[in-house]
Chain A
Amino acid sequence: MTDVLPIDGIDGDSVVVASIESKSPKRLSWDRFKRDRFAIAGLGVVAFFLIIAIFAPLITKILGISPNALDRNSLNDYGLPNGRFGGISGKHWLGVEPGTGRDILARLIYGARLSLFVGLVATLITTSVGMMLGLVAGYLRGRVDTFLSRLSDLVMTFPSLILTIALVRPGTQRLEAMGVPEGNPARLTYLMLVTLFFGWVGFFRIVRGQTLALREREFVEAARSSGAGPGHIIFRQIAPNLWGPIIALASMSLPGYVAYEAALSFLGVGIISPTASWGIMLQDSVHYYRADPTYFFIPGATLFVLVMAFYLLSEGLRDALDPKNDRQQVA
């Protein structure tokens, strides 16, 4: 009878009232998140893709398919898949690629690996650099802040897409000359560097603004007056308050980067064939739009579903992490 209080009711029976349970902010956020069915669905889809991406070699081995094996037998004399719907069969669940006969499911699985890798790395680097610089600028203020803020103004002025496309060739050439292995390693390094160059700004602005406000709060003053150095104040006192908005923003930008990789590969300035990428598959499928529309729909729909799952997840996260949403849950 420690956590239940007996209270005398009106007619003498005792009414049992559960004691009030204290909930941490994390627990509250999780409770809010759980109520959002769309977000849970998004989380499920994203987790599914992650598992597929991580275990890609194992999964393709179990299914007996390979992203690079050419299967000429599944193609007819015109190089088109045998059978209806792009050659869907017991052996090739999602059909085969026209022209080469490579298994589409296997290429999708490896494409997921690439997409998620690019998305995660891009988000990780832009978030950490943006957050770091934002914290420093907001805390130190003065010249450092002016410099970084002006720099972010300048970066915002560049047409990011045009510049990314324009610098692909000289950029990768330069990287190769610096010793990065030729081909996709150089391309990927280039894409990550450009993404970092343009991507830190959004995080920087938000973190800087929040830090400027937080540094005036009493708990920071308390830490300072008990002798804490700037490192402790920035990382132990201020940074933990920023996780909410940071996670919300990071989860918003991740699907953007996933789609960005596909888009650049589609334009021919991203990943280079024969590495499997959804963007390259879509680019290739355009040549067969009449003869084999399935080949266009499968990678397109996959990309669409993954991006949508990420958005639903990120929206759920944003709502769940915002303490203002405690009072009411708007459907």
Chain B
Amino acid sequence: MIAYLTRRILFAGVLLLAVSLFTFLIFTVLPTDPAALTCGKACTPDRIEANRTRLGYDQPVTTQYVRFLKGIVGGRTYGEGQGEFTCGAPSLGYSFSQKDCVTSLIARTLPVTASIAFGGFALWIIFGIGLGMVSALKRGRWPDRLISVVSVVGLSFPTFFLALLLLFIFVIWTQILPFPSYVSPTEDFFGWCQALILPWLTITIISAPYYIRLTRFGMLETMNEDYVRLGIAKGLKRWTVLRKYVLRSALIPIVTVAGLDFGVTLGGAVFTESVFSLPGMGRLSIKAVSDSDLPVLVGTTLVAGTFIVVFNLLTDIFYGFVDPRVRIHK
């Protein structure tokens, strides 16, 4: 087990480094002139040159990357003299258009995204697995059919359209809910729920159908296994067989998908955040695109990538615990 863990953690580390290198490279090599993007259309050649040296775009790419990595580990100072800014570790860069360190921008927006992701995730897992179980147990009868119709409808909604629809219905036309504005859950728990209920609902309606299908399929497959028949033949209670024999093995593949999905959502719920005007990481990215704010974009991409790597690692570790075969094979 320890060997397996070490291997997985090392691999995750390599993956993270590769992601950082690739992200950095693509944002440095792809723009025709990164410095010209720092001040938009109001740029004078002087300012472009000043920003070029300030941000280090005049250095070779390798030097820039090494500086970037050093910044993550030990903080970094941008520019010199009057226009000097220092960002503490882990520094992901400095945003000219927002006049702030990228790390603090992300730190400010992350709680919003995390709130959306956690609540949405909890709801879609509960509904996805719950309804999937009902579907499998009532296979072919009306609850199963109803659930499958509802899931096709949910699956067919593009996220942004569903979010808009919910916003119009609940906030603008019927005015059941106020317009979402984020407050910290520690300050005002009820206000927090009220602001996030629609984003949660959006994410749940869109994501739960996949989990309904996975659960239904997995349960129907395992219910045909001989060991399940044995359990029933032994005279175990129906619920015990279901819980210990069927669910336990049917849910394992779902964990993989769930881990990855959660990692992705945590990197920025772009559509829900922009429709409901919630100041999360996804919206930070969108704003950075319209400002051509490359340092912020590098930062959000990297953080989002890190979440994916970390949650993949966690799923791998989980697998190692529940399924001994994984530890030997890979």
Contact = CB atoms under 8 A, between A and B. Distances in A.
Interface of A: 153-154, 156-159, 161-163, 165-171, 173-174, 177, 255, 259, 262-263, 266-269, 282, 286, 289-290, 293, 296, 300, 303-304, 307-308, 311-312, 315, 330-331
B158 A159 contact: no
Contact of B145 (A168, A262, A331): A331
A165 B158 contact: no
Contacts of B61: none
B150 interface: no
A321 to B, nearest CB: 16
Contact of B32 (A173, A263, A269, A330): A173
Interface residues of B, number: 51
Nearest to B294: A170
A174 B153 contact: no
Contact of A153 (B15, B32, B267, B307): B15
A222 to B, nearest CB: 30
- Chain A interface helix/strand/loop/mixed: helix
19 contacts: A153-B15, A154-B19, A157-B18, A157-B309, A158-B19, A158-B301, A159-B301, A161-B268, A162-B282, A163-B301, A167-B26, A170-B31, A170-B37, A174-B30, A263-B160, A308-B152, A308-B153, A311-B155, A331-B140
B198 to A, nearest CB: 15
A289 B168 contact: yes
A259 B158 contact: yes
Contacts of B23: 158, 163
Contact of B164 (A158, A171, A296): A296
Nearest to B281: A162
A330 B282 CA distance: 41
Contacts of A331: 140, 145
B238 to A, nearest CB: 22
Nearest to B145: A331
A166 B300 contact: yes
B321 interface: no
B308 A282 contact: no
B266 to A, nearest CB: 10
Nearest to B307: A159
A268 B301 contact: no
A263 B159 contact: yes
Contact of B37 (A168, A169, A267): A169
Ranked 9 nearest A-B pairs via Cβ: A159-B304, A308-B156, A170-B31, A166-B297, A259-B158, A159-B267, A170-B30, A307-B156, A162-B304
A300 B164 contact: yes
B274 A267 contact: yes
B125 interface: no
A54 B155 CA distance: 27
Contact of A162 (B15, B152, B159, B267): B267
A168 B289 contact: yes
Nearest to A171: B30
A263 B162 CA distance: 11
A153 B16 CA distance: 11
B170 interface: no
- Most chain B CB inside 10 Å of its own CB: which residue of A166, A171, A290, A312: A166
Contacts of B286: 165, 267, 269
A268 B289 CA distance: 10
Nearest to B263: A159
Given A169-B289, A304-B158, A312 B15 contact: no
B156 A311 contact: yes
Nearest to B153: A308
A266 B274 CA distance: 10
Interface string B282-316: 10011011101010010011001101110010000
- Most chain B CB inside 10 Å of its own CB: which residue of A156, A162, A266, A312: A162
Given A158-B301, A289-B168, 18 more contacts: A154-B18, A156-B308, A157-B308, A157-B309, A159-B267, A159-B301, A159-B305, A162-B270, A166-B300, A173-B32, A255-B156, A267-B286, A286-B164, A296-B168, A303-B161, A304-B158, A308-B156, A330-B140
Nearest to A290: B172
A266 B19 CA distance: 28
A162 B32 contact: no
A235 B157 CA distance: 38
A173 B31 contact: yes
Interface in B123-164: 139-140, 145, 152-153, 155-161, 164
A47 B223 CA distance: 39
B308 to A, nearest CB: 5
A166 B302 CA distance: 11
A163 B305 CA distance: 10
B27 A158 contact: no
Given A177-B32, A300-B165, A154 B152 contact: no
A177 B140 CA distance: 58
A154 B145 CA distance: 39
B142 to A, nearest CB: 11
Given A158-B301, A159-B305, A167-B26, A304 B161 contact: yes
B271 interface: yes
